[in-house]
Amino acid sequence: MPASGWRVASSVPASTPLTRAEARIDFARSPRPTVGVEWEFALVDAQTRDLSNEATAVMAEIGENPRVHKELLRNTVEFVTGICENSAEAMEDLRQTLGPARRVVRDRGMELFCAGTHPFAQWSSQKLTDAPRYAELIKRTQWWGRQMLIWGVHVHVGISSANKVMPILSSLLNQYPHLLALSASSPWWAGVDTGYASNRSMMFQQLPTAGLPFQFQKWSEFEGFVYDQKKTGIIDHVDEVRWDIRPSPHLGTLEVRICDGVSNLRELGALVALTHCLIVDLDRRLEADESLPTMPPWHVQENKWRAARYGLDAVIILDAESNERLVTEDLDDVLNRLEPVAKSLHCSDELAAVADIPRLGASYQRQRRVAEEHDGDLRAVVDALVSELVI
């Protein structure tokens, strides 16, 4: 689509071009490698197990709370933490918010549900949250935007300098398939088994500015990219860059948005610890003047697809030399390597719990097993996911 196709929606007049001086993006910087979590939940009717578009009423009853946010669709409520030191602290923060919120939800005849997708809900039945930025998104993206019946987890990790952000981001892409395979929880779409472990990751990348990030090495390259995006009317604000891993300049963090929705605190704590440790490890290696490993974009793209399609059975590409290995075998080595980092961050138990996911089955595997045990009744899948949320 030519730039003029977006310009209609842009707040930047075509006659007033941006200047290079306006391209500067200040990065807030975090003095410590803190962690924060955003956890998206759907509301499901306790009787029908279908989605319920009652988020506005739920949030009104909860009242003003910086830990509870609205999202694109009125079936979704997002819970967020404050700035935490480690995964355990983040999980406790979420517990404190989830307990009262779930009581409100249950009193209204609903349950909190989290997975990358709902097993049988129809996207066409969902209502949009009344907000200008959501209306603008749908105006621009049309059919694909209306299809975004998906939920995920976002993990923020504090970075001390803008100069570190892009090298860490580019190297972290080597572990993209590990995080996606472990969290994959979206095999279903509108009642159909897609054959994918994570259909969500395939859906979300259809939005403009979403999907895999560009592998820049310097902050100035990212600034130049954002300048180009703004000048051509593709975005109005840096937050509209919806990459699977992206800088959050105003927070001073690197935001990892790879994971599908997670149904329970134990798995979430494990995935948050893994994400935290991976980024801190790369940060420390930069501090030690190491060159961080990267892979060509075509390998990164293939790894995303393999993890989305095959989950924990994916054979992934390991490096720029095109070596391959089963993702779970490589995960064992990654966890061993990160043990000293986890100890220093006081999240050793949470990191160790990552190994339980392949042992017990990832969410997409558990969901398929429940469906098989109940003769394909996907309401049983919803019930199983709801029951996993033990606060």
**Three-state SS string across 224-262, please?**
HHHHHHHHCCCCCCHHHCEECEEEECCCCEEEECCCECC
Rounding to the nearest 10 degrees, give the CA dihedral for residues 136, 138, 141, 142.
-140
pLDDT score at 143:
79
- Tokens matching residue 318: 């390991």
Give kind and range of the element (H or E) at residue 143.
helix 132-146
- Smallest CA-to-CA distance from 12 within 228, 233, 238, 227 is with 233
Count of alpha carbons within 13 angstroms of residue 21, beta-carbon side: 0
Residue with tokens 């779930």: 102
pLDDT at 16 (0 to 100): 53
Domains observed in the chain:
36-388 (3.30.590.20)
Q: What percent of the chain has pLDDT over 90?
A: 84
Element (H or E) spanning 308, and its range? helix 297-310
Amino acid making up residue 60: A
Q: What is the pLDDT of residue 216?
A: 96
Residue 229 reports pLDDT greater than 70: yes
Residue 10 confidence (pLDDT): 39
The answer on pLDDT for 5 being more than 80 is: no
Per-residue pLDDT of 273-307, as tens digits, reads 999 999 999 999 999 999 999 999 999 999 999 99
pLDDT tens for each residue of 17-67: 566 666 899 999 999 999 999 999 999 999 999 999 999 999 999 998 999
Q: Quote the pLDDT of residue 195.
A: 98
Q: What is the pLDDT of residues 233-273, one digit of tens each?
A: 999 999 999 999 999 999 999 999 999 999 999 999 999 99
Instruction: Give the Cα-Cα-Cα angle 368, 189, 356 (nearest 5 degrees).
Output: 40
- 232, 6 Cβ separation under 8 angstroms: yes
Contact 293, 174 (CB under 8 A): yes
Tokens, residue 77: 């409520």
Is the pLDDT score of 4 beyond 90?
no
Q: Are 41 and 151 in contact (CB under 8 A)?
A: yes
Return phi, psi of residue 42, to 5°: -95, 155
Please report the pLDDT score of residue 85 as a whole number.
98
HEC string of 61-128 equals HHCCCCCEEECCECCEEEEECCCECCHHHHHHHHHHHHHHHHHHHHHCCEEEECCCCCCCCCHHHCCE
* DSSP 8-state secondary structure symbol assigned to residue 153: E
Contacts of 228 (CB under 8 A, 6+ apart): none
Give the pairing of strands 188-189 and 192-193: antiparallel
